[in-house]
């Protein structure tokens, strides 16, 4: 478990910057925890305070019950070894081959050569780069470089992996494959993963929990689906634009309003229920006609959510609408959008 209690970090100098302000945060073992925020919000500072690459000015940082700020430098080095880190620009050693890059932390830990070789072979297999063992970083694609970064970050059997914008330099498809690899590592090895990103899609793809950071403060946090569907702050809402479409685009709304008669409603649903069985039930129960005019269905990990615009006509349209609300769907009349 990683725990921050009232952590404050101020960069001193000509212009003092409060990079973290009173941050409380709990990341449980085995979680994939996302931290999202705009440039300069304090994301890298926050993650660097986990392994004390930055020292907080105030507050407490504990990792697996160890109070990190109380350690001697020797003990801190030991604790740091349990925490791997990967970066946007990979930070590989260009004069070393892939296998020697991965072996590097093992050499530093004085692991015997034979064990090193076995370990490197296992890690190459884990990240799918066995055939590139002898290649140099310059001969690899961005995605392959990040795979080397991941293998190197896990060489000492780390329990925690910190990812600072690890996919920001990659195209969407490669990003996806790296995220899949991180997910696999999390599942198979039970490694806790902290992901820093400014892309909501990364959060949506693999994170269990998310914290939104702004000006050094955590302004929102929780289970991903909840934050995605009920953002309470403007910053969170801004990140969500385009990720989950729960609004009817204005041009579509204008077109829909031209259709005469009946009542236009928008329903939003979440979870195991898709709208379909409920709509079927409504049609069979009430004297009402339903036209589906617009819709968007999406998936956040295993959870389906979506939005449909329906036109209800018929003598029992009011009852039908009440029925949908009774079923727990969010119903909004949009005749006036």
- Judged by the rule CB under 6 A, the positions of this chain that interact with ligand ATP are 11, 13, 17, 19, 37, 39-45, 198
Q: Among Mg ion, ligand ATP, none, what binds residue 37 when CB lies within 5 to 8 Å by partner kind?
A: ligand ATP
Shortest Å, Cβ 49 to Mg ion: 13
Closer to Mg ion by CB, 44 or 158: give it: 44
User: Applying CB under 5 A, does 197 fall inside the site for Mg ion?
Assistant: no
Alpha-carbon span 335 to 126, nearest angstrom? 54
Which residue lies nearer to Mg ion by CB, 164 or 208?
Answer: 164
Could you give the angle at which helices 275-285 and 317-326 cross, rounded to 10 degrees? 140
What lies within 8 Å, CB to CB, of 185 at 6+ separation is: 126, 150, 154, 161, 191, 193
For residue 39, the partner it binds in ligand ATP, Mg ion, none, with Cβ less than 5 to 8 A by kind, is: ligand ATP
76 close to 69: Cβ distance less than 8 angstroms = no
Q: Is 128 helix (H, G, I), strand (E, B) or coil?
A: coil
Please identify, using beta-carbon distances, which residue of 183 and 198 lies nearer to ligand ATP: 198
Question: How many H-runs (helices) and E-runs (strands) does the chain carry?
Answer: 12, 14
Residue 198 binding: pick among Mg ion, ligand ATP, none (C-beta 5-8 Å cut-off by kind): ligand ATP
Handedness of CA 202, 204, 207, 211 (dihedral sign): positive
- β-pairing, 83-87 with 2-11? unpaired
Angstrom distance (rounded) from CA 269 to CA 278? 10
Strand partners, 72: none
Residue with Cβ nearer ligand ATP (27 or 212): 212
Binding at 41: pick from ligand ATP, Mg ion, none (beta carbon under 5-8 Å per type): ligand ATP
- 244: how many CB neighbours lie within 10 A of its CB? 18
The pair of three-digit structure tokens given for residue 3, joined into one six-digit string: 């725990």
Closest distance of CB 40 from Mg ion, Å:
8
Position 44 contacts Mg ion (CB under 5 A):
yes
User: At its nearest, how many Å lie between Mg ion and the CB of residue 169?
Assistant: 13
- Choose the one of Mg ion, ligand ATP, none that binds residue 60, judging by a C-beta under 5 to 8 angstroms depending on kind: none
Q: Select 37 or 56, whichever has its Cβ closest to ligand ATP.
A: 37
- Give whichever of 35 and 106 is closer to ligand ATP, judged by the CB atom: 35
User: What is the number of the residue whose Cβ is closest to Mg ion?
Assistant: 44
Contacting residues toward Mg ion, per CB under 5 A: 44
């Amino acid at each position: 478990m990683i725990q921050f209690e009232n952590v404050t970090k101020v960069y001193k100098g000509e212009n003092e910057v409060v990079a973290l302000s009173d941050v409380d945060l709990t990341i449980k073992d085995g979680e994939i925890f996302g931290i999202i925020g705009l440039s300069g919000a304090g994301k890298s500072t926050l993650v660097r305070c986990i392994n004390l690459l930055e020292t907080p000015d105030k507050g407490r940082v504990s990792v697996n019950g160890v109070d990190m700020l109380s350690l001697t430098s020797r003990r801190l080095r030991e604790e740091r070894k349990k925490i791997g880190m990967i970066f946007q620009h990979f930070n590989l050693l260009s004069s070393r081959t892939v296998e020697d890059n991965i072996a590097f932390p093992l050499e530093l830990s004085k692991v015997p050569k034979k064990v090193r070789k076995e370990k490197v072979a296992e890690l190459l297999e884990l990240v799918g780069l066995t055939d590139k063992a002898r290649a140099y970083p310059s001969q690899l694609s961005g995605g392959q470089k990040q795979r080397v970064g991941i293998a190197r970050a896990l060489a000492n059997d780390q329990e925690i992996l910190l990812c600072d914008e690890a996919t920001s330099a990659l195209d969407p498809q490669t990003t996806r494959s790296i995220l899949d690899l991180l997910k696999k590592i999390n599942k198979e090895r039970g490694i806790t993963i902290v992901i820093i990103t400014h892309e909501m899609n990364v959060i949506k793809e693999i994170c269990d929990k998310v914290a939104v950071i702004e000006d050094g403060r955590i302004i929102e946090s929780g289970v991903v689906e909840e934050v995605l569907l009920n953002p309470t702050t403007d910053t969170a809402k801004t990140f969500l634009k385009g990720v989950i479409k729960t609004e009817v685009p204005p041009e579509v709304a204008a077109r829909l309003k031209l259709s005469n008669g009946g009542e236009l409603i928008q329903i939003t649903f979440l979870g195991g229920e898709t709208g379909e069985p409920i709509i079927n039930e409504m049609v069979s129960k009430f004297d009402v006609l339903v036209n589906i005019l617009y819709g968007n269905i999406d998936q956040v990990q295993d959870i389906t959510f979506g939005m449909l615009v329906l036109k209800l006509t018929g003598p029992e349209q009011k009852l039908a609408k009440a029925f949908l609300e009774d079923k727990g769907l969010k119903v909004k009349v949009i005749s006036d959008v």
